[in-house]
Amino acid sequence: MKILLLNGNVDGSKFERYLEELEKLLIGSGHTVTNLHLRELGLKPCTGCWDCWVKTPGECAADHATRKMDREVILADFVLWAAPLKMGFPTALLKTALDKHLPLIHPYMEVDQGEAHHLKRYACYPRVGLLTMKGSGGDVHDLEIVSAIFRRTALNFKTRLEFCLTMDTPAIEVVTHIVHPEASPMELPGPLGPTTGVTIPPPKQITLFNGSPRGKHGNTPILLREFARGFNGSPEMHHLIQIKQVKQHVKAFSEAECAWIGFPLYTDAMPGPVQGFCEALEERVGRKDNPPLGFLVQSGFPEGLHSRYIERYLERLADRLNSPYLGSIVKGNGEGVRMLPPNATRILFAHLQNLGCNLANEGRLDPEILKAIARPERYPRYLGPLFRIFLRLPIAHHYFDNMLKQNSAFEHRYARPYMSDPQ
């Protein structure tokens, strides 16, 4: 068996020694093992350019390290996602790596588990498991949240999560889980509803943190600005993709009267740079002067339900920081916002402005407006067959097909560059 340890550990800690022991046991059992140290790979964060879908189908056009990693991943029989928890979530290093698996799936959509998901690019994907280590102040609740998110990630990666274990498990037991496929992989988490934010004294100022990897040119800053317009202030906006300025971002958070973090959904969670910001906030844990905190999560999937799992982590993050949790604005079909004409965004922008006005005047978010923005939370089951028929029609793929044709890549849209037979 060909086994890949996707090692998101950031230093030579006891977690690293555990992985070394695990590697020796697997090799001793006759398996081929690659321990891919992500900290040595020099991965660049995914910027959402989509070149891997519409210019060089199946391959990241900008990052040789990504191509090296993705080849190892898709050719493996088993991939172990391995990283300790930092601020209640596997490291930003591992998260960045998972974000860069985008070339391994297809931009076209399908219905899976009654939900919209991407089509597979390859005929077969590796089995996967998650190995982690509790961080400082971590508990079983952190593991439950992470497990649910990573089961969703595995679904979107066209496989199933077989286990979620910590290094408290003897290494030989992890070997058994890897070598002997589970008869029943972990069940998918059940559907979740929205979380509930608290009410605070109405703030006079709000500080915005834009987690879009596209920086100023993403959809997220547009939505944040509309929210701020309703708040009727002149808020600062900090762009978290500017990773070298993370200390200034933490300082801005510490000085904020009220903070709002927005980002696009990347592999069922936050983009890697946003997780890096969350890790940098560790120095603020337990402080009594941290600001109230709210979130905005937008995704390319049409249903709001895709973002509900990371919403649990965000609620937990606010609690960890001792920040009053103001709630999460969830928006599906957010990818096209920056390209839509004003008449197509009028209702959405009005809702966002009303939420900003709610915060400024009442110190809370209106739950009915939150529901309206998140619709459809989930498509009714009877629409599933109709959605499947629609996805077979050329119009369903028109957006991506046009870009593929513009880049003279349409004939290669189903390319499988990491297989001996690329087509």
Q: Convert the pLDDT of each residue in 342-364 to its tens digit.
A: 888 999 999 999 999 999 999 99
Domain annotation covers residue 202:
no
Residue 127 sits at φ, ψ, to 5 deg, of: -65, 150
If asked whether residues 118 and 263 sit together in one domain, one would say no
Q: Token pair of 3, please?
A: 């086994």
Helices (H), 38-169: 51-54, 64-75, 92-99, 140-156
If asked whether residues 278 and 159 sit together in one domain, one would say no
In which residue ranges of the chain is pLDDT below 50? 421-423
Q: Token pair of 176, please?
A: 């058994």
CA distance 45 to 49: 11
If asked whether residues 260 and 122 sit together in one domain, one would say no
Domain annotation covers residue 381:
no
Domain final residue, candidates 159, 179, 199: 179
Domain annotation covers residue 383:
no
Tell me how far CA of residue 54 lies from CA of 57, 319, 414, 421, in angstroms. Answer: 6, 41, 11, 20
Q: Give yes or no for a contact between 131 and 80, defined as CB atoms under 8 angstroms apart.
A: yes
Burial of 77 (0-12, 13-18, 19+ CB in 10 A): middle
CA distance 359 to 294: 10
Look at residue 184 in the predicted model and tell me its pLDDT. 75
Look at residue 420 in the predicted model and tell me its pLDDT. 59
If asked whether residues 293 and 163 sit together in one domain, one would say no
If asked whether residues 145 and 241 sit together in one domain, one would say no
Domain annotation covers residue 175:
yes
Q: Token pair of 64, please?
A: 């040789």
If asked whether residues 267 and 147 sit together in one domain, one would say no
CA distance 336 to 318: 29
If asked whether residues 126 and 227 sit together in one domain, one would say no
Look at residue 421 in the predicted model and tell me its pLDDT. 43
Domain annotation covers residue 268:
yes
If asked whether residues 127 and 230 sit together in one domain, one would say no
If asked whether residues 175 and 211 sit together in one domain, one would say no
Domain region containing 124: 2-179
Q: Give yes or no for a contact between 129 and 162, defined as CB atoms under 8 angstroms apart.
A: yes
Element (H or E) spanning 285, and its range? Answer: none
Look at residue 419 in the predicted model and tell me its pLDDT. 87
Q: How many domains, in total, are found in the chain? A: 2
Domain final residue, candidates 142, 160, 179: 179
Domain annotation covers residue 422:
no
At 284 the three-state DSSP class reads helix
Burial of 268 (0-12, 13-18, 19+ CB in 10 A): buried
Domain annotation covers residue 388:
no
- Find the angle CA(145)-CA(149)-CA(152) to the nearest 5 degrees: 145
> Closest Cα partner for 2 from 72, 81, 76?
76
If asked whether residues 331 and 228 sit together in one domain, one would say yes
CATH number, domain of 317, equals 3.40.50.360
Domain annotation covers residue 361:
yes
If asked whether residues 156 and 39 sit together in one domain, one would say yes
Q: Give yes or no for a contact between 89 and 278, defined as CB atoms under 8 angstroms apart.
A: yes
If asked whether residues 135 and 9 sit together in one domain, one would say yes
